[in-house]
Amino acid sequence: MSVSTERKNQRQDLAWAIAVGGILAVSFAALLIFAWEFAATLFLIFSGVLLGVALTAMTNLLKKVMPGPHAVRLLVICLLLATMMAGIFTLGGSTIAQQATALSGTIKSQIVNLKTFLESYGFDASYLDLNTISPTSPRTSTTPATTPALPNMQHNLPSAGALASGGGAIVSQTLKLILGTVGAVGNFFIVLFLGLAFAAQPGVYRKGLIAMSPRAIRPQIETVIDRIGSTLERWLIAQMITMTVVFVVTWLGLLVVGIPGAFILGVQAGLLTFIPTVGALLGGLIIVLASISSGWVAIGSAFVLLLGVHALESYILTPIIQREAIDIPPATLFAFQILLGVVFGVWGLALALPVMAVVKVILVYLREDRPKPIEA
């Protein structure tokens, strides 16, 4: 091969490498922009995938005692979950509603007391205002009672512009409430549908993801997908056990202490356990606020109970159950939570741990030393 031909080939290889690098850079930038613009939709889909993984994990556990078709076991799991939810709402629906109303009133009154306490020491607590008085609200008049009311009536009646503005505000708030409710219900059914679809035919979606990848790396993609699925299954089963234990212990403990709304406080503590670190802090704050009205003994008892539940979760349940599923240092997890929470809001905060689990599986696989193919 001549020198000119070799240089020509080198230039072609360099041009090809630059072109491929440019295409990859542009594709990665486009992927980041897409993820940023449609983050809520991607998190919604990821929630559906998590539900599908959870249903699949429970279906696989049921296989140990109930052999048979996958669809039949999935149907049994769905019926059991639906029956359990219906029983909770049927037997405890009124209790939950009453306790939720009482708890809301208690927390609001404690916030008002906190605002008064801060203002008495010169702190600005206007951000704690729960009821803002509008400029057009009626005020106490100092006019003597003997003053005729009829001549002043025209000054007390709102103008047509004020009526139109108030009506527009009411319609706007009503539309926001309706759209928010419809959006929440719609998101719930989207996650439910995706979860059932993924759980009904997990093999089909697994094969589809593998088929969409380049043929040269399909074995590696298959290994990564299987590891991600196994990790998420173990973590979700461990998380459901942890949430159930936290709910039962918190509920019974608050019931013994005598704090009102023990059941709903236990429910919120169990649900917030799904969000590591931040969820426990938020649940503890709500319980402390709810116990203030019962006196200092109740506050101290509730605080001791929270310490006990935290110790149970952090030093017994997590090391025994969670560490077998996913082992992520608490500081790393908290930093990742804060990052996703600031960037993506509630979705990022709630799903930080499973997202980090997926990232960890991929990074661990890329770091592994795999034997190189033997060249002939």
Name the strand (E) or helix (H) holding 279. Answer: helix 278-291
Q: Which residue has the higher pLDDT, 286 or 137?
A: 286
Mean pLDDT of 332-340: 80
Q: Encode pLDDT of 287-331 as tens digits.
A: 877 777 677 887 888 888 888 887 777 777 766 666 556 667 777
Asked if 44 contacts 187 with a C-beta cutoff of 8 angstroms, the reply is yes
Please state at what angle helix 160-200 crosses helix 202-212, rounded to 10 degrees: 90
What count of other Cβ atoms lies within 10 Å of the Cβ of residue 130?
A: 10
pLDDT value of position 133: 39
Q: Encode pLDDT of 183-227 as tens digits.
A: 777 788 888 888 888 888 888 888 888 888 888 888 888 888 888
Mean pLDDT of 14-32: 78
pLDDT value of position 173: 61
Q: How far apart are the first and last CA of the chain?
A: 24
pLDDT value of position 374: 47
Least confident of 50-64, 148-162, 226-240: 148-162
Reported residue count of the chain is 376
Q: Which residue has the higher pLDDT, 43 or 148?
A: 43
Q: How far is CA 99 from CA 109, 161, 246, 249, 259, in A?
A: 15, 42, 19, 18, 11
pTM exceeding 0.85 = no
Please tell me whether residue 259 adopts helix, strand or coil conformation. Answer: coil
